[in-house]
Structure 1
Amino acid sequence: MTVAVLFDFSGTLFRVESTESWLRAVLDGAGVELSEAEIVETARALEIAGALPGGADPVRVPEELAGLWPVRDRSAELHRAAYTGLSRQVPLPDPALHDALYDRHMTPAAWGPYPDALPVLSALRERGVRVGVVSNIGWDLRPVFREHGFDPLVDAYVLSYEHGVQKPDPRLFTAACEALGADPGSTLMVGDSRHADGGAAALGCAVHFVDHLPAAERPDGLRPVLDLVG
């Protein structure tokens, strides 16, 4: 019997805004004007660079970031350095915009839940199933959950930067199971990364994968979780 479910954050419960929306919000906030063509071109370059956390991976990791990129989720400092390093591959009108872009992605406004996320978490709560969020991340995502009304449905948050280890390291999943008082053999891990989230299987957790798609293209990807829990 499943008594606990662990969820990944980005690409599983929530989806980050588009790169173009991200860029527009920061330019508007800074009072910087670019032509429509410049905005589209710059957003495309940022996407290729992989500069938006939670967005597309970089097409190519620059040599100077090669050592940093694999361990970026182990601390807040590493995470910021990695993503602003990618952003700085793209020229912007003001160098300060690179940090502003990073800051924007940490705001609740930059994230939207998948359509079925709230109903699924609510159903798990009604069934008495404990819920944890296990994320490779470099910042505190709790305000995102509070802003969108998800926080009362989450029993524990286990974030890589707070533990100094990142998925697929079994220690992060162990910490999550311990926080929920759940045995790994009675726990289900739900995520979008076979590499990172699949690490829970080493502890004996069941694992279910979802596709990391735009929210409109994945309206009910989480609903199978309810059948798996039983």
Structure 2
Amino acid sequence: MTGVLFDFSGTLFRIESADRWLRAVLAESGLTLPEHEVTSAAAALEAAGALPGGASPRRVPPELAALWEVRDRTAAEHRAAYTGLSRQVPLPDPALHDALYERHMTPGAWTPYPDTADVLRGLRDRGIGVGVVSNIGWDLRPVFRAHGLDPYVDAYVLSYEHGVQKPDPRLFEIACERLGADPVKVLMVGDNRQADGGAAALGCGVHFVDHLPAAERPDALRPVLDLVDRR
């Protein structure tokens, strides 16, 4: 094996909770709401699927359905899809919907899984190329830099930069090319069986992890090192 590709959200990093997300934006905006209104709005935002990287929408409004299917194709579509979901929830200031979207792109909104650094470091020590392949509408590189993980990533292949979403094999093909790796010698690691499973069409191996809060998933990435050592 010469390369390992990783998904971002739910695989290497976990987004903050909807409650923490909303409270951070309210604090930054200088707004104070009664506690019951904060908890109610956070729950409604979560149910709406408004937090990128968080829970999926319980229901996508018909007027957003077509956009939702292509949300990771461009930065504009990503923002429009998620702020559209957010706007299903009444907030005291309409500007909060854009502020929430901006917040989720900050490094402080993301936490690496407990074993992320050790696994990426272990792959670097083994001489294995590492790529991050993400369906996303913004540049996640600053998140890796802020958490000290950028030195372990050789290539970032982000859907909005190529106009292609997983599971389209073209996105994985670009990643393999950037690593200079034959796809049959590459392992794709992700949390979404449909999207990340698209790598199998190229002949890549695929390994799945569960999208759980960081505290509940301390070592799910460690088997990747065993898989690399066995192949």
- TM-score in same-fold range (> 0.5): yes
Letter in 2 for 1:11: G
Pairing 1:115–2:114 present: yes
State the distance in 2 between where 1:192 and 1:166 align: 15
State the distance in 1 between where 2:211 and 2:110 align: 14
Letter in 2 for 1:61: V
- Deviation by residue 1:22-57 (Cα, 9 ceiling, x = unmatched): 000000000011111111000000000000000000
The aligned counterpart of 1:101 is 100
Equivalent residue runs for 1:48-87 within 5 Å: 48-87=47-86
Pairing 1:16–2:20 present: no
Pairing 1:155–2:154 present: yes
Pairing 1:134–2:133 present: yes
State the distance in 1 between where 2:166 and 2:181 align: 19
The aligned counterpart of 2:167 is 168
State the distance in 2 between where 1:180 and 1:36 align: 49
Letter in 2 for 1:227: D
State the distance in 2 between where 1:139 and 1:160 align: 9
State the distance in 2 between where 1:35 and 1:216 align: 29
SS at match of 1:72: coil
* Structure 1 residue 171: Cα displacement: 0.3
Aligned residues: 229
State the distance in 1 between where 2:201 and 2:34 align: 51
Letter in 2 for 1:3: T
The aligned counterpart of 2:214 is 215
Q: Which runs of 4+ in 1 moved over 6 A?
A: none
* Structure 1 residue 195: Cα displacement: 0.3
State the distance in 1 between where 2:36 and 2:94 align: 20
* Structure 1 residue 119: Cα displacement: 0.2
SS at match of 1:190: strand
The aligned counterpart of 2:189 is 190
State the distance in 1 between where 2:197 and 2:100 align: 30
The aligned counterpart of 1:228 is 227
State the distance in 2 between where 1:13 and 1:67 align: 29
* Structure 1 residue 115: Cα displacement: 0.1
Cα RMSD of the aligned pairs, angstroms, is: 0.3
* Structure 1 residue 87: Cα displacement: 0.1
* Structure 1 residue 6: Cα displacement: 0.1
* Structure 1 residue 130: Cα displacement: 0.4
State the distance in 1 between where 2:34 and 2:109 align: 22
* Structure 1 residue 140: Cα displacement: 0.1
SS at match of 2:70: helix
State the distance in 2 between where 1:86 and 1:216 align: 27
State the distance in 2 between where 1:85 and 1:65 align: 7
* Structure 1 residue 145: Cα displacement: 0.1
State the distance in 2 between where 1:224 and 1:124 align: 12
